[in-house]
Structures are given as C-alpha cells and as structure tokens.
C-alpha cells in the first residue's frame, strides 16, 4: 500500500509529554506509544472494534494487547484435544482484510501500540450500523499519545427490534474459556447472533469444533450471543446444509447422504434447516429438488462471500413454497471478515435464541452487506401475508437507508414473483430511497424489495479468487440488500403453486431428480468413487446408500407430478 499524506488533528489527541517510558521497537529502535480508546458515542463506554493503523509508509501496526482471532483449530480428520493454551496457538492478533488489502486488529475498547516516531492514520470499524471513525496523528520519540475515538451510529436497528446475524462462521470453540474473547470479537463486528458452525464429512464431524451444543453452548454478553450450529451434512452431488439452533449435534455416518434424516432430527431438536452457498454450490439444486417436498427446509443462504444470488430462492418461492432468506460469510473457509454479509431478523420481545429462531420461522428477515431495508404491503411486514378479497390495489411502502461513505446506492426495486414491478432511483446525493404507492395486484403473488449499489473504497476479491458459485463480475464490490417475501393472497385467483410458472418449475425439479437418479447409476457411482478425494465415499458406501436415496427420489417425484 502506498504512503498517504496525513493531515494532523491535534484537537482529538491528548499528548502526555515528558514520559520516561520510551518504547523499544524491534531492532532496538526508540519510539513512542499510542494509547487508543474506542467508545460507543461521545460519552459512551469503551466498545470493541476493528482497527486499521497505518504509518505514512503504508505499514500496518498491531496492538500488543489486540484480541486473538482467527478460525482456530480446523483439522477435518483429527478430533480436537487440548486446553485453552493450545487453542490460543491457532489464533493471531492480526487479520487480513481482503476488502481493503490491509492488516487490521481487534480491540476490546482500549489498546496500547508501541510505534516509531512518525505520522499515522487510524480507521475504526464496528459492523455496518456505525460510521467509520477516522483519526490522524503524529508521534514523537519518547512521547505517549492517548487517542480517544467515539463511534457514532448512522442507524440503530436493535432499537427497532432488528438484530444482525452471520449464519456461517467457521470459528473453532473447543473450550468454553474462549467465550469472552470470541464474544468481544463478534461485538467488534456488531454481530448479535454469531452462529459458529462445526462441519465435517461422512467420515467425521470434527472440523471447527464446538465444545457444546444447545443451551450449554450459548454464551451471552448483553445482546450478543455465541451459538453452536453446524454445516453438516455436505456432499458434492447434494450441496451443503446448515442447521441453526438445534439442542444437540446431528450426525448420521451410515446414512449421511440422506439429508432428510438430518432435517427431521433438527426439527425434533428445535433447530432450523437450510442450504448454504445460494443453493448453488456443489450441485445443491439436486439436493433442494429432493428435499423441498419434505417441508423440512426453513431457509436458504442467498447472500454470501462477496456477492448474492437469488435465482434458486426465487424458484422456490415461485413454486409456492415459503422460504426465509439468510446470509453469512463462510469466514474461516473463504477470505472474508465476520459479518460482512449478514441478515437481520425481526425479534418479538427480548433477544433470545428462541425468539431469534422464531423470527426466522416467520420469515421476518432481510439480507444485506451494508444498506438497511424497510418493507410493508398493506399492514404486513416481511414474512407476512396480505389478503385481498378480489383483484385490486395494495399500498406498498419500501425504504432503503445507508451510509454514503461506505455504500453508493443506485436504486431499489420492487419485485413481484422475481420480476421487477417498480424501479426507484436514488435522487442526487440522498442518503435514502423511499417508495409509497398503491399498486394494482391482479392475482396471488409474492412481493419483495431489493437494493443495488457499489461499495466505496473497497477492492474486488483477491487476484485469482472467484467463488465457484459466483455468477456476476463487477468492477467494484456490490452493495446489496434484499427483503424476505411478503405473500399476497387474492381470493378467486390461482394460488402460486397452481400457476403456470409453478408448473414449469415442477418440471424443472423433476428434471433434477432424473439427473440425480442417473448419478446414482452403478456406472456413475464407480466414477465418483474413483475420484482422488479422501472425503468422498467409496463405492461400497455409495451402493449401500443407493436404495434409500432412490426411494426418496420416488417420493419427491410423486410430489412434483401431483403439482402438474
């Protein structure tokens, strides 16, 4: 990173002159010391945050007392053994930010950094509801500077009952002693429900280990929760599943390929089930075609790792099946930061794991990587159902708000059954976009609002890194948001599942089942088993699972044929 001229801001720096403590830097170089304090508001308490501290030469500096962070223990074969001291050896005090291409660190609210004399620039981040904190200063040799940076909100979603979550964090938590440190890290990204996903293969369920599941695995500080979850089951020709909030771990090694068993057990244990990676990675559409008829799927991850894709989700909704949209980062597996993609859930009453899960069940969510959405149809909010006694007009209210220093938004779109009904552009330099009109509705449908823009001051993914399910290439990272659907029932008109589009989709799901059945042929199974991948099942395992899978295909095929 090239050197950047720095403008000095002496009024926000408290200099402690004449200090006898001269920092000794590597190589015996004499320097000074920065005491950094980050607060929530001008007179608020100290608050965790992510810090970028760069010298005039572009070099990044990290506090001696920075929080230890990182994916942690990630071996996919050897189960965890050890204590808190061993767990710490897998963590680091710095983190690489792929969006700024700089090294940053996390502070619990106060940090000390020995520095050589020179000019410096600070940028302080705390999730997406706070404005960036910026400071510049000059440090003399032998000097101690105390810099206090108050962070200011541009919006307060919890005050409106909305709480942000990341549904896809591969952060190891093998011992409970890690809880306070990991919680401070999630607070620094303003993640209210951090879902730490243990994952595995048919062989073992050991990667990113969690010390406990269910109530014993929940850690709470204020309105910030650490919750154990799992990305399990996972299979190349069925996709990757996520289970959130279950009261225990779920693994069926002998029938691993029958995802339905996992979804049934998750529901029994009070959890929610869904598909990761937009429902596109690792041929997940075959798994979704097999599992939709069970009625056991609750959500689909439509925003993840740099981008969003709504195609599979739209197809599910247009099939007449309700599905809640969620978002996550896949941090720990892909280059990302916790909470960069997240979803907000409308919670009734105090935030608990149960009230949060209930909000997802209701479909009261929206996904975002920065902008905030509002959306109502008649008197219904996201996840609701509006009723019309006959074709007529309904009032649609939609709103987008954002911090223009980080998100350069272009427009919002009202979508009906996946097609653009209304497009509303941003006017000038406005910080929000609003829509409030009565719109004619001639048949039963679903409605949603989505937003488009670009990120200010961010880079595209690292050179050579393109997720296999990425379907768009832009000149700059996109600013995106999408609401959950609001369904509209118009009496006397066909329900969604009876409409022509749903019938066409039923044929498409049937074609997927035909492809899946072909994959399970003896010839295909022999080819799959020959692949040089230790995580793929052998031919004996595949053949043993084939009968139950063929029966599942038969049952799902009947479901779609009935819809025709």
Shared domain check, 472 and 535: no
CB neighbour list of residue 28: distance below 8 Å, 6 or more residues apart: none
Residue spans of the chain under pLDDT 70: 1-30, 282, 461-476, 528-535
Are both 146 and 162 inside the same structural domain?
no
In a shared domain, residues 281 and 322: yes
Residues 310 and 249 in one domain: yes
Residue 297: inside a domain: yes
3-state percent helix, strand, coil for the chain, nearest multiple of 5: 25, 35, 40
- 506 domain residue, yes or no: no
DSSP 98: T
Q: What is the pLDDT of residue 35?
A: 97
pLDDT at 536: 74
Residues 163 and 147 in one domain: no
Pairing of strands 95-97, 445-455: unpaired
Range of the domain at 559: 512-563
- CA neighbor of 542 nearest in space, from 205, 254, 233: 254
Residues 142 and 179 in one domain: no
DSSP H/E element including 240: strand 239-244
Structure tokens belonging to residue 256: 């691993």
| 99 assigned to some structural domain | no
What pLDDT score does 495 carry?
95
Residue showing tokens 């879902």: 195
Q: In this predicted structure, what is the pLDDT of residue 421?
A: 97
Helix, strand, or coil (residue 182): helix
> What is the model's pLDDT at position 7?
30
Continuous H helices in 440-496: none
Report if residue 487 sits inside a domain. Answer: yes
What is the tally of structural domains in the chain? 3
Classify burial at 442, counting beta carbons within 10 Å of its beta carbon; exposed 0-12, middle 13-18, buried 19 or more.
exposed
Is 420 found in the same domain as 521?
A: no
Q: What is the CATH number of the domain that holds 236?
A: 3.20.20.140
Confirm whether 91 is domain-assigned.
Answer: no
Asked whether residue 427 falls in the same domain as residue 486, the answer is: yes
In this predicted structure, what is the pLDDT of residue 522? 81
pLDDT tens digits, one per residue of 536-555: 778 888 889 999 999 999 99
Query: What pLDDT is attached to residue 27?
Result: 55
Helices (H), 212-352: 259-268, 284-291, 311-318
């Amino acid at each position: 990173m090239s050197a950047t001229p720095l403008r000095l801001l002496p009024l926000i720096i408290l200099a402690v002159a004449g200090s006898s403590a001269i920092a000794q830097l590597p190589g015996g170089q004499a320097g000074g010391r920065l005491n950094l304090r980050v607060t929530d508001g001008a007179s608020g308490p100290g608050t965790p945050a992510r810090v970028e501290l760069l010298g005039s030469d572009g070099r990044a500096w990290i506090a001696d007392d920075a929080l230890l962070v990182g994916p942690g223990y990630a071996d996919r074969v050897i189960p965890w053994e050890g204590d808190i001291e061993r767990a710490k050896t897998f963590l680091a005090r710095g983190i690489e930010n792929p969006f700024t291409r700089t090294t940053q660190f996390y502070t619990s609210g106060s940090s000390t950094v020995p520095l050589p004399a020179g000019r410096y620039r600070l940028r302080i981040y705390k999730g997406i509801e706070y404005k960036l904190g910026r400071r510049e200063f000059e440090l003399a040799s032998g000097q101690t500077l105390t810099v206090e940076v108050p962070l200011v909100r541009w919006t307060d979603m919890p005050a409106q009952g909305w709480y942000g979550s990341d549904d896809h964090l591969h952060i190891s938590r093998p011992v409970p002693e890690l809880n306070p440190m990991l919680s401070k890290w999630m607070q620094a990204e303003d993640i209210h429900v951090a879902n730490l996903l243990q994952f595995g293969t048919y062989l073992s369920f050991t990667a990113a280990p969690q010390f406990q599941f269910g109530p014993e695995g929940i850690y709470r500080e204020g309105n910030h929760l650490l919750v154990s979850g799992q990305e399990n089951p996972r299979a190349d020709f069925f996709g990757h599943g996520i289970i959130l909030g279950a009261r225990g771990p779920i693994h069926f090694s002998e029938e691993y390929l029958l995802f339905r068993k996992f979804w049934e057990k998750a529901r029994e244990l009070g959890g929610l089930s869904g598909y990761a990676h937009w429902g596109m990675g690792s041929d997940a559409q075959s798994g979704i075609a097999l599992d939709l008829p069970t009625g056991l799927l609750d959500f689909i991850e439509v925003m993840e790792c740099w981008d969003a894709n709504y195609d599979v989700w739209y197809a599910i909704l247009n099939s007449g099946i309700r599905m809640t949209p969620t978002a996550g980062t896949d941090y720990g597996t892909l280059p990302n930061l916790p909470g960069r993609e997240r979803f907000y859930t409308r919670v009734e009453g105090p935030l608990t794991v149960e009230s949060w899960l209930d909000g997802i069940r209701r479909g009261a969510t929206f996904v975002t990587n920065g902008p905030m959405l509002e959306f109502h149809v008649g008197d219904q909010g996201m996840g609701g159902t509006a009723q019309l006694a006959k074709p007529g007009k309904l009032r649609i209210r939609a709103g987008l708000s954002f911090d223009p220093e980080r998100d350069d938004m272009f427009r919002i779109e009202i979508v009906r059954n996946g097609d653009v009904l209304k497009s509303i552009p941003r006017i000038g330099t406005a910080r929000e976009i609003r829509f409030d009109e009565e719109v004619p509705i001639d048949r039963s449908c679903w409605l949603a609002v989505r937003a488009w823009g670009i990120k200010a001051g961010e880079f595209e993914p690292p050179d050579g890194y393109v997720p296999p399910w990425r379907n768009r290439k832009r000149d700059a990272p996109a600013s995106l948001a999408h609401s959950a659907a609001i369904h509209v029932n118009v009496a006397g008109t066909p329900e969604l599942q009876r409409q022509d589009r749903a019938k066409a989709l039923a044929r498409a799901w049937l074609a997927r089942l035909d492809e899946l059945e072909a994959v399970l042929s003896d010839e295909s199974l022999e080819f799959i088993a020959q692949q040089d991948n230790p995580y793929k099942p052998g031919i004996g395992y595949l053949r043993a699972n084939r009968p139950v899978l063929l029966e599942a295909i038969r049952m799902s095929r009947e479901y779609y044929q009935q819809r025709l």
